[in-house]
Amino acid sequence: MDLDAITEYSALHPKPSGLILQYGTAGFRTKAEHLDHVMFRMGLLAVLRSKQTKSTIGVMVTASHNPEEDNGVKLVDPLGEMLAPSWEEHATCLANAEEQDMPRVLMDISVKAAVNLQQDAFIVIGRDTRPTSEKLSQSVIDGVTVLEGQFHDYGLVTTPQLHYMVYCRNTSGQYGEATLEGYYQKLSKAFMELTKQTLCSEDEYRSLKVDCANGIGALKLKEMEHYVSQGLSVQLFNDGTKGKLNHLCGADFVKSHQKPPQGMEMKSNERCCSFDGDADRIVYHYLDVDGHFHLIDGDKIATLISSFLKELLLEIGESLNIGVVQTAYANGSSTRYLEEVMKVPVYCTKTGVKHLHHKAQEFDIGVYFEANGHGTVLFSKAAETKIRQLTKELEDEKRKAAAKMLENVIDLFNQAAGDAISDMLVIEAILTLKDLTIQQWDALYMDLPNRQLKVKVADRQVISTTDAERQVVTPPGLQEAINDLVKKYKLSRAFVRPSGTEDVVRVYAEADSQENADSLARAVSLAVFQLAGGVGETPPGF
């Protein structure tokens, strides 16, 4: 390691002294102007991680659904997964080291993690469409270069596309070709094969309006459009030509405000969906004939997908197990429907894709979705091999066709990460194959009315939780207070947790009516404010 060169280059990406940032649920995320040094240092760290794992590592510059002024960075581990927890700690230490200490901290990490510095390193880099992303990704490249890592800059890509590239490169191309062309080809081929029997169905099934959050999803859907145009016609809105990224549009806005995005013409009963700013989340929505807005969130997406997969499994008659993974935010109705009507086992993990992803790996087929629209389906290697073998060996036509469909589904899901484009194609294929309208899909079950609120407290870490964030451990008395409030309402449930991405405590409540869900959420917010050191104004409504 050439410490002099590192010191010299680092001075070009100086750390504002005193600034402390945390590698959180989805990497570092803050105002773009505070991130230059973090980018340089993540370039350095990616090289160490690559040497240690002897694999290609990804670095994605994005702040997803955050406002346009923010930016962020996260590292992608060899199989497309999120960075291992011990390396999250290294990332935090390195980002926070004061300028003069940084080379020493870098050395310490390399010793602690037993990195062989002689090993080659290869890094792939991607970025979203934020005005600051190009310059910041250049700083990542500076970091990679000073440690003599090799790299490939994919430029503008969605977050899941970068995960895909990493996965492809580390599996010698078995998963797919590590190019955008390879990504489009793989997905579109699987989509066209899956839907080929139904291509003559009515036109209304084949057109979909997509709100692209004024983000990268728009560019990439435009590139992909012609690959799937025989099976699906997409009409893009909020494509970034006019509006601001994530402003009053996109999956996060639609989900949290339970409102249609601005900038999208919606006629009644038209099928619409929204991506987030880096295209790793998707939610569907429509207006009914009375003009009422209906949101179809990650829970209903998981339900549609798992019921389809379960039918195919029954058809081929193999005992592959399937499990659905959710978080505490999953609507109570979805969990009940999955367990009681569909009879699939449901598991709850902490918020954040990495927790769901990890749990989903325990099943032959693991379906995971956060209510906010992050998710995918993972097939174990054994399940995949079995299914591919069945498509070749089965003689019974019906069973063979079902196995073939499952094979297409494996290829269509981005198994490296939740991916709005890939999820969208799977959903469109299922709706077409099952001849379902968006209203019929929506009618699978009725969501319980719910409300999310935020509370500002002096230190959100005073709140600790257990049982996948469904129970508060500290501060004392808070869980008892929540229990007493929940008892006052029917079909009710509430939990609180410190946010991993914002300096707030999040509150979730659901109940038999919207009024009751709102009132429970407000009462719980007040309890948090009083028992966990609320600051500023008392939560409204009292």
Q: Is 419 in the site for Mg ion (CB under 5 A)?
A: no
Ligand-binding annotation for 56, yes or no, is: no
**Closer Cβ to Mg ion, 64 or 306, answer by number:** 64
Considering the complex, what minimum distance in angstroms separates the CB of residue 485 from ligand 16G? Answer: 21
Query: Residue 387 in contact with residue 397, Cβ under 8 Å?
Result: no
**Pairing, β 322-327 against β 365-369:** parallel
Q: Of 7-15, 119-127, 269-277, 519-527, which part binds Mg ion (CB under 5 A)? A: 269-277
Decide if 422 is catalytic: no
Q: Is 254 in the site for ligand 16G (CB under 6 A)?
A: no
Give dist(CA 225, CA 415) in Å, integer.
Answer: 21
Q: Is 351 in the site for ligand 16G (CB under 6 A)?
A: yes
Q: Of 125-133, 146-154, 211-219, 351-359, which part binds ligand 16G (CB under 6 A)? A: 351-359
Considering the complex, what minimum distance in angstroms separates the CB of residue 285 from Mg ion? Answer: 18
**Closer Cβ to ligand 16G, 451 or 506, answer by number:** 506
Q: Is 88 in the site for Mg ion (CB under 5 A)?
A: no
Give dist(CA 322, CA 302) in Å, integer.
Answer: 12
Residue 278 binding result from ligand 16G, Mg ion, none, given CB thresholds of 5 to 8 Å by partner type:
Mg ion
What is the chain's length? 542
What would the two tokens of residue 58 be? 């990804």
Q: Is 64 in the site for Mg ion (CB under 5 A)?
A: yes
Q: Is 326 in the site for ligand 16G (CB under 6 A)?
A: no
Q: Of 275-283, 314-322, 361-369, 467-475, which part binds Mg ion (CB under 5 A)? A: 275-283
What would the two tokens of residue 534 be? 């609320």
Residue 90 binding result from Mg ion, ligand 16G, none, given CB thresholds of 5 to 8 Å by partner type:
none
Site for ligand 16G in 34-73 (CB under 6 A): 64
Query: Residue 482 in contact with residue 465, Cβ under 8 Å?
Result: no
Give dist(CA 184, CA 190) in Å, integer.
Answer: 10
Q: Binder to Mg ion among 128, 142, 239, 280 (CB under 5 A)?
A: 280
Number of residues that bind ligand 16G (CB under 6 A): 15
Q: Is 372 in the site for ligand 16G (CB under 6 A)?
A: yes
Q: Which helix (H) or strand (E) holds 482?
A: helix 478-486
- Residue by residue, DSSP assigns 280-320 as -BEEEEEE-TT--EEEE-HHHHHHHHHHHHHHHHHHHT---
Ligand-binding annotation for 501, yes or no, is: yes
> Tokens 């109940």, residue?
511
Q: Is 274 in the site for Mg ion (CB under 5 A)?
A: no
Ligand-binding annotation for 497, yes or no, is: yes
Say how many C-beta atoms besides its own lie within 10 A of residue 439's C-beta.
13
- In degrees and rounded to multiples of 5, residue 255 shows phi and psi of -70, -45
Question: In the beta sheet, which residues pair with residue 71?
Answer: 30
Residue 26 binding result from Mg ion, ligand 16G, none, given CB thresholds of 5 to 8 Å by partner type:
ligand 16G
- Coil/strand/helix, residue 376: strand
Question: In the beta sheet, which residues pair with residue 324?
Answer: 346, 367
**Closer Cβ to ligand 16G, 220 or 506, answer by number:** 506
Annotated active-site residue in 10, 50, 64, 306: 64
CA angle 271, 346, 485 (to 5 degrees): 90
> Annotated binding site for Mg(2+), which residues?
64, 276, 278, 280
Positions marked catalytic: 64
What residues make contact with ligand 16G under the rule CB under 6 A?
Answer: 25-26, 64, 351-354, 370, 372, 374, 499-502, 506
